[in-house]
Structure formats: structure tokens, C-alpha cells
């Protein structure tokens, strides 16, 4: 779990640096949500991994470390669940907009067949 955290943090750092470079080069504010999410997931995974290691290497506080690690895992999975629900709501809103208002040039295509 600590490796996942380190990879997530590395991805977040590279992404945030690339956002800054793109903003500096283009003069336009550039924002990507992926590095921010990777930062949260990386920090939670790193902290949870450390707590799991503490369960095995310390004595007397096993339950505290275990509950802390499971809380970090819950945070990660809660974030993923919220993002999935948000993506579904946005997708349904776009589909409803296209079906109801029929914007010029817009159509819904499923497996190569236009359905709207």
C-alpha cells in the first residue's frame, strides 16, 4: 500500500508541475483534477500502509493502527464511489440534454447506430 501511495504522490507532483509549466508557457490557467485526486489517494494510501506496517511491528496499539489503516482505505474508496456517482450524474445529464433539446449537430451514437 505504501508503494501505491508513493506512486500516487509521484504522479501528483509530476501533474502539478506540468500544470504550472503549461500555465507559464501558455499564459492561460490550466487545471487538471487528476493530480489533485492522486495527491489525496497517495497520501491516504501512504498513511494507511504505514499504519498496516505498525500493526505488525509494534505491540500494544494494534487495534488503533488497524482502525487507522482501515479508515484511510475507507477514505480512498469513498472518494472513488463519489467520483463514480458524479460521473454517472453528468453522463445522464448530457444524455438528457441531447435527447430533449437536440442541439445542432449533436446525436447519440451507440455501436455505430444513431439513436437520437
For 65-111, what is each residue's pLDDT tens digit? 999 999 999 999 999 999 999 999 999 998 888 888 877 776 777 77
* Residue 115 in domain: no
Three-state secondary-structure class, residue 100: helix
Strand (E) or helix (H) holding 110: strand 109-110
Domain assignment present for 106: no
The answer to whether position 73 is within a domain reads yes
pLDDT of residue 7: 94
Other beta carbons within 10 angstroms of residue 74's beta carbon come to 12
Of 83, 85, 55, 89, nearest in space to 70 by CA: 55
Distances (CA, A) of 86 to 30, 43, 72, 80: 22, 22, 21, 10
- List the domain range (segments joined by +) for residue 67: 2-85
Give the pLDDT confidence of 16-54 residue by residue, as tens digits: 999 999 889 988 887 888 999 999 999 999 999 999 999
In a domain, 97, yes or no: no
Amino acid at each position: 500500500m505504501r508503494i501505491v501511495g508513493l506512486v500516487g504522490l509521484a504522479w501528483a507532483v509530476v501533474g502539478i508541475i506540468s500544470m504550472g509549466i503549461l500555465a507559464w508557457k501558455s499564459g492561460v490557467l490550466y487545471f487538471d483534477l487528476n493530480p489533485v485526486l492522486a495527491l489525496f489517494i497517495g497520501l491516504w494510501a501512504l498513511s494507511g500502509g504505514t499504519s498496516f506496517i505498525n500493526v505488525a511491528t509494534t505491540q500494544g496499539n494494534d487495534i488503533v493502527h488497524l482502525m487507522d489503516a482501515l479508515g484511510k482505505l475507507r477514505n480512498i474508496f469513498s472518494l472513488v464511489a463519489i467520483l463514480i456517482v458524479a460521473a454517472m450524474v453528468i453522463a445522464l445529464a448530457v444524455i438528457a440534454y441531447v435527447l430533449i433539446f437536440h442541439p445542432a449537430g449533436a446525436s447519440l451514437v451507440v455501436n455505430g447506430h444513431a439513436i437520437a
